[in-house]
């Protein structure tokens, strides 16, 4: 039959009956076997000594309090030196403290008592590995594998040691075995990638580039974003002479990690090689560009620097051959900037200067009239034409002036200005160079050249120009502004700020300078100072829209969104159709969570510019937060129609599809982003969420871990990872994730809820209760938190409060699956199995893909004796959650009750295949074997159960019964002794102990046991009867007569007691 004991644990009872004893002391008793299964709550049996200390230590170990945990385990060991669990857990605590050698000793002690425990050998191996004793670690891993060849952790451990020994082939073989043993791809991927990379590097050292290439490609097939592998592949291709392909690999590595030094150096080397090749083929311009890029990537690359000088000199030589002496001079000068000691550049410069002078002398000595005067005439003409806007005519005049006098610096300056106004920046830069070549003191030429270089994005050159100009005219505010702008673009913000200050000392109320300074301060993150600059502008011109916009932007950055919104609105009064201002206003409204208003503002932009991407994105985000995913998707699609690769739009649409539950549609959006940006955290989080909802927990964990590698404090990633770890029964690691989140945000409801669930997984109801109560304090209508409170009370065995909490949760959410399950659990323990069954059925309706609801129904049907009906439900539970231990146990018990012992035995064996030390399965198996008459096998199974969980009173009791039936009375007595110690009020255990002691001839102790039974159960017939027999054996026949008489008072038809009473009386009469 099935029942629930006072702890709410389902039991299965078998009655085994032995022969009735005669007067000579052969005893008999109905022996009751109880098998505890799938406990919902921990055993209520009082834990003493070692077991209690073990529990305390394990709780401390989970919290990371390693020293305190180690102290508890030490005390547990002193109380019971054979406590394998205490030795093992002490070893784990010492590992946590970094005391690996001592940890190894603890695992050795555990192995003395349990030498065939593969997991223990695995722990021992890891301790040795951490201690640096690789050989001992390998031996221990091998021993673990000899006991359990499918122990993937041991294969991985061996693989890691092989990596350290640079035996990469062996490492790969071990990782392959780990994969065959069921290890997840994520668990072995890191090791496999390291092995392939190690093999590749070894091949590179031996200049075996083809083999190296194969190894690095194998690594990339496993981890496509391994920078080390991309760098290795690049070196392999370079060794094979495939430079263009090698460059692509470098680019891949730099896209993954732009700061990777090895990739930058490798790319610089390849560019320098290509540059040298171009130079040798006579293409000096291409060579110069390649050497320039190489030196930017690796300023220490001497080949690149020398190549840059050589290519510039070669360019100069080519210009000389074409009689372009000024251009040649520029090239030689550029070469001397890189290498002032270059002999070839110095010689070329000297030759170019001589050629220019010779040309001037030739012009001076010709027979034409005053050419200098004619040159000035065309110069004046050009200046007038510029003022009229006739730029083409101005250029023609300047060219005539230069043709007459190539040294006319002002003509070159005029030509440069005309080119600038035409937008021909490169031509402008060349003309200004000629102007300065002829007159290094031309301030205006330096200033305009600085402006041109700024427009070309050559900010370092622009800075040199403005500094040259300022040496000639230090009081020119415009030059200081130019210098400040160049410094700002070079991100020399402090220097830039100082230059703006110099400009303002010369012109304190220049609004443009103040605006520029304010914008710089914004870039520097000094928003308060920026606000002061913008306010100064507004004192000069209170309607200055740019200052109002800057004020809005600075306040926005300070998260002073209301002030920002006011500034944008004031600016819009001046410029109602300014899109930047409308966008700023929309952004402030969005930040203030006024999504309806932000949508209208973005719409205002889109009415003017229907394809404005920023507005479309903002409108999409606003709609999404208004839970209008359909409208949001329309906006994101409009962005993607213009910009198919727009990352933010793809992420936004992916998020919307995810919220709509369209997982298969959402995933490609996140994957497409990751194909372009492998380190995009938002895409990793989106992919992780999709995989989590598709129950691809390993895939989800990979995504969340990668996100955390990139941003260790990312709350979404920590929460997502915590949820996956919790679903993988890794509550300790999950709790660490939630604690990190709460370290950033102690009111994060999701983290508090997750931490509560992790505490529940530890059966720490008190901690869980505090966490869920914090959630309720923040959100009184949070149904999930009410369920959590109910679960916490349930763990603490406070069923009344648990029931009330579940009812509150259901009141808030009628379709709460977890609350319905909770109600079922409580009602089941209270013995109301019919009502519990109804709640489990409701739970199945709300969560049809959740195994727990079907498991609950199966258990309740067993409790009311409907074993046939329970079996399909256990099967359904197993279909949803394969190999679930609770469902296998329930199925086994149902089969046992239906008389299918072999089927039941198979279920318990299936449990033990997953968990070889599962005490409940070992105990149940022992009982079944005893029922089949296989007493020796039953004893072995129960002994294993006892070793697995020595705190289980029922295991000791059943072991005592089996040993008794085998005639092992000393062993039986020892087992019953432990059973009575754990449950001092268990009359059956005291009775069994008395029987065993009687068989060993320890009659006084046996008498005390029977009297203890009578004290607990005054009407226990067997205790009175066996007390009488013991008294006879002790030759206290006078005292035996009342005992036999008591049996007959309780059971008048008891023939054995009647016979014993008569025989005893005859004996006493004969003695007298």
Range 494-531 burial, b when 16+ CB lie within 10 A, else e: ebbbebbebbbebeeebbebbbbbbbbbbebebbebbb
In this predicted structure, the answer to whether residue 181 has a pLDDT above a threshold of 80 is no
- Determine the pLDDT at residue 365: 63
Mean pLDDT of the chain: 87
Indicate the pLDDT class of residue 363, thresholds 50, 70 and 90. low
- Determine the pLDDT at residue 749: 94
Query: Domain map of the chain by residue range?
Result: 1-44+915-1072, 46-114
CATH superfamily of domain region 46-114: Tetratricopeptide repeat domain (1.25.40.10)
Indicate the pLDDT class of residue 6, thresholds 50, 70 and 90. very low
Indicate the pLDDT class of residue 7, thresholds 50, 70 and 90. very low
Q: 355-369, 389-403, 1039-1053: which range is least confident on average?
A: 355-369
- Determine the pLDDT at residue 854: 95
Neighbours of 98 (CB within 10 A): 11
Average confidence (pLDDT) over 99-111: 89
What fold characterizes domain 1-44+915-1072?
A: 1.25.40
Spatial strand order in the sheet of 30-36: 2-4, 10-17, 30-36
Direct distance between the N- and C-terminal alpha carbons of the chain, in angstroms, rounded to an integer: 52
Global pTM exceeds 0.75: no
Report how far residue 691's alpha carbon sits from residue 684's, in angstroms, rounded to the nearest whole number.
10
DSSP 957-1007: HHHHHHHHHTT-HHHHHHHHHHHHHH-TT-HHHHHHHHHHHHHTT-HHHHH
In this structure, what are the phi and psi dihedrals at residue 35, rounded to the nearest 5 degrees? -115, 115
CA nearest 1002: which of 975, 955, 970, 979? 970
Assigned token pair, 447? 């200033």
Average confidence (pLDDT) over 45-55: 64
Q: 325-329, 374-378, 746-750, 837-841: which range is least confident on average?
A: 325-329
Neighbours of 933 (CB within 10 A): 10
> What HEC string does 648-675 produce?
HHHHHHHHHHHHCCCHHHHHHHHHHHHH
Separation in Å, CA 848 to CA 661, 833, 853, 876, 877: 17, 21, 8, 10, 10
- Determine the pLDDT at residue 372: 44
pLDDT in tens, 588-609: 999 999 999 999 999 999 998 8
Average confidence (pLDDT) over 292-317: 88
In this structure, what are the phi and psi dihedrals at residue 932, rounded to the nearest 5 degrees? -85, 0
In this predicted structure, the answer to whether residue 81 has a pLDDT above a threshold of 60 is yes
* β-sheet bridge partners, residue 16: 31
In this predicted structure, the answer to whether residue 941 has a pLDDT above a threshold of 80 is yes
In this predicted structure, the answer to whether residue 223 has a pLDDT above a threshold of 90 is no
CA-based torsion, 1050, 1053, 1058, 1060: positive or negative: negative
In this predicted structure, the answer to whether residue 291 has a pLDDT above a threshold of 90 is no
- Determine the pLDDT at residue 160: 87
In this predicted structure, the answer to whether residue 470 has a pLDDT above a threshold of 70 is yes
In this predicted structure, the answer to whether residue 371 has a pLDDT above a threshold of 50 is no
394 touches 418 (CB < 8 A)? yes
DSSP 8-state symbol, 133: -
Range 629-644 burial, b when 16+ CB lie within 10 A, else e: bebbbebbebbbeeee
Exposure of 292 in the CB half-sphere (CA atoms within 13 A): 11
pLDDT in tens, 9-30: 223 333 222 222 221 122 222 2
Tell me if domain 1-44+915-1072 and domain 46-114 are identical in fold. Answer: yes
Separation in Å, CA 168 to CA 46, 195, 416, 702, 1008: 53, 5, 64, 24, 69
Range 289-309 burial, b when 16+ CB lie within 10 A, else e: bbbbbbbebbeebebbbbbbb
Report how far residue 920's alpha carbon sits from residue 924's, in angstroms, rounded to the nearest whole number.
6
Indicate the pLDDT class of residue 999, thresholds 50, 70 and 90. very high
Average confidence (pLDDT) over 652-675: 92
Please state, for a pLDDT cut of 70, what percent of the chain lies above it: 94
Indicate the pLDDT class of residue 2, thresholds 50, 70 and 90. very low
In this predicted structure, the answer to whether residue 299 has a pLDDT above a threshold of 60 is yes
- Determine the pLDDT at residue 21: 25
Report how far residue 640's alpha carbon sits from residue 659's, in angstroms, rounded to the nearest whole number.
20
- Determine the pLDDT at residue 364: 62
In this predicted structure, the answer to whether residue 240 has a pLDDT above a threshold of 70 is yes
- Determine the pLDDT at residue 480: 94
């Amino acid at each position: 039959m099935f029942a629930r004991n006072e702890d709410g644990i389902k039991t299965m009872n078998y009655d085994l009956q032995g022969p009735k004893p005669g007067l000579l002391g052969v005893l008999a008793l109905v022996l009751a076997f109880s098998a505890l299964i799938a406990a919902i709550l921990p055993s209520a049996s009082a834990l003493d000594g070692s077991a209690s200390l073990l529990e305390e230590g394990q709780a401390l170990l989970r919290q990371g309090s390693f020293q305190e945990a180690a102290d508890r385990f030490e005390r547990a060991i002193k109380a019971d030196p054979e406590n394998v669990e205490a030795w093992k857990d002490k070893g784990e605590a010492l590992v946590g403290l970094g005391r690996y050698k001592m940890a190894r000793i603890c695992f050795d002690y555990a192995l003395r008592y349990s030498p065939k425990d593969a997991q223990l050998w695995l722990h021992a191996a890891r301790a040795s590995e951490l201690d640096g004793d690789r050989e001992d670690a390998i031996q221990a891993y091998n021993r673990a594998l000899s006991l359990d060849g499918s122990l993937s952790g041991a294969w991985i451990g061996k693989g890691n040691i092989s990596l350290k020994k640079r035996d990469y082939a062996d490492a790969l073989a071990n990782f392959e075995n780990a994969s065959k043993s069921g290890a997840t791809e994520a668990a072995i991927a890191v090791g496999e990638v390291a092995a392939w990379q190690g093999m590749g590097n070894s091949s590179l050292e031996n200049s075996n580039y083809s083999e190296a290439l194969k190894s690095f490609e194998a690594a990339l097939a496993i981890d496509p974003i391994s920078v080390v592998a991309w760098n290795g592949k690049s070196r392999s291709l370079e060794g094979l002479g495939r430079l263009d392909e090698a460059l692509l690999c470098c680019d891949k590595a730099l896209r993954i990690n732009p700061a990777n030094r090895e990739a930058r150096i490798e790319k610089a080397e390849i560019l320098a090689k290509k540059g040298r090749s171009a130079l040798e083929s006579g293409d000096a311009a291409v060579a110069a560009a390649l050497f320039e890029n190489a030196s930017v990537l690796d300023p220490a690359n001497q080949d690149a620097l020398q190549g840059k000088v050589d290519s510039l000199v070669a360019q100069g030589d080519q210009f000389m051959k074409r009689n372009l002496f000024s251009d040649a001079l520029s090239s030689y000068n550029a070469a001397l900037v890189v290498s002032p000691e270059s002999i070839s550049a110095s010689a070329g410069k000297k030759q170019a200067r001589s050629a220019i002078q010779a040309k001037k002398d030739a012009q001076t000595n010709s027979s034409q009239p005053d050419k200098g005067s004619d040159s000035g005439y065309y110069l004046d003409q050009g200046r007038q034409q510029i003022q009229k806007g006739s730029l083409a005519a101005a250029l023609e005049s300047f060219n005539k002036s230069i043709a007459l006098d190539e040294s006319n610096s002002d003509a070159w300056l005029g030509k440069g200005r005309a080119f600038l106004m035409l937008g021909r920046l490169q031509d402008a830069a060349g003309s200004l160079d000629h102007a300065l070549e002829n007159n290094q003191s031309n301030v205006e030429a330096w200033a305009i050249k600085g402006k041109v270089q700024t427009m070309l994005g050559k900010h370092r050159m622009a800075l040199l120009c403005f500094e040259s100009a300022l040496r000639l005219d230090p009081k020119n505010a415009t030059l200081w502004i130019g210098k400040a702008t160049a410094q700002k673009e070079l991100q020399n913000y402090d220097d830039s700020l100082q230059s703006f200050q110099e400009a303002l000392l010369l012109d304190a109320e220049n609004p443009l300078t103040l605006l520029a300074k304010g914008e710089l301060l914004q870039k520097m993150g000094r928003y308060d100072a920026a606000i002061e600059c913008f306010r100064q502008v507004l004192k000069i011109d209170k309607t200055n829209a740019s200052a109002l916009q800057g004020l809005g932007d600075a306040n926005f950055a300070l998260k002073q969104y209301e002030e920002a919104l006011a500034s944008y609105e004031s600016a819009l009064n001046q410029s109602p159709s300014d899109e930047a201002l409308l966008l700023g206003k929309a952004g402030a409204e969005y930040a203030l969570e006024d999504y309806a208003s932000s949508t209208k503002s973005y719409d205002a932009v889109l009415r003017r510019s229907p394809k404005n991407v920023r507005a479309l994105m903002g409108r999409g985000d606003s709609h999404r937060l208004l839970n209008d995913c359909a409208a949001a998707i329309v906006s994101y699609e409009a962005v993607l129609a213009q910009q198919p690769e727009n990352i933010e739009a793809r992420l936004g649409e992916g998020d919307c599809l995810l919220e709509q539950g369209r997982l298969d549609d959402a995933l490609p959006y996140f994957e497409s982003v990751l194909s372009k940006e492998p380190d995009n955290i938002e895409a990793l989080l989106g992919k992780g969420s999709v995989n989590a909802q598709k129950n691809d927990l390993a895939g989800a964990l990979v995504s969340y871990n990668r996100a955390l590698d990139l941003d260790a404090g990312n709350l979404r990633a920590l929460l997502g990872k915590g949820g996956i770890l919790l679903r993988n029964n890794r509550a300790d690691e999950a709790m660490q994730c939630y604690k990190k989140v709460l370290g950033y945000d102690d009111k994060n409801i999701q983290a508090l809820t997750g931490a509560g669930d992790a505490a529940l997984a530890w059966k720490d109801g008190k901690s869980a209760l505090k966490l869920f109560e914090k959630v309720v304090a923040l959100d009184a209508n949070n149904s999930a938190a009410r369920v959590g409170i109910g679960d916490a009370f349930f763990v603490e065995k406070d069923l009344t409060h648990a029931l009330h909490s579940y009812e509150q949760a259901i009141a808030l959410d009628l379709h709460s699956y977890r609350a319905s399950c909770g109600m079922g659990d409580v009602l089941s323990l209270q013995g109301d199995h019919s009502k519990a069954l109804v709640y489990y059925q409701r739970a199945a309706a709300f969560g049809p893909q959740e195994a727990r609801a079907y498991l609950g129904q199966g258990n309740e049907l067993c409790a009311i004796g409907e074993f046939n009906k329970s079996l399909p439900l256990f099967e359904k539970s197993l279909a949803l959650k394969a190999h679930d231990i609770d469902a296998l146990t329930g199925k086994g018990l149902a089969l046992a009750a239906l008389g299918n012992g072999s089927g039941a035995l198979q279920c318990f064996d299936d449990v033990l295949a997953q968990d070889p030390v599962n005490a409940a399965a070992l105990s149940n198996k022992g009982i079944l074997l005893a029922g089949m008459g296989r007493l020796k096998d039953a004893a072995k199974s129960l002994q294993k159960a006892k070793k697995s969980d020595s705190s289980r009173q029922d295991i000791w009791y059943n072991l005592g019964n089996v040993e008794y039936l085998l005639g092992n009375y000393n062993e039986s007595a020892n087992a019953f002794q432990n059973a009575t110690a754990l449950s001092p009020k268990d009359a059956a255990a005291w009775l069994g102990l008395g029987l065993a002691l009687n068989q060993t001839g320890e009659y006084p102790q046996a008498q005390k046991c029977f009297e203890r039974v009578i004290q607990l159960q005054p009407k226990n017939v067997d205790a009175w009867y066996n007390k009488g027999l013991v008294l006879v054996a002790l030759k206290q026949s006078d005292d035996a007569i009342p005992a036999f008489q008591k049996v007959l008072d309780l059971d008048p038809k008891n023939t054995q007691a009647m016979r014993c009473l008569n025989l005893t009386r005859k004996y006493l009469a004969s003695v007298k």
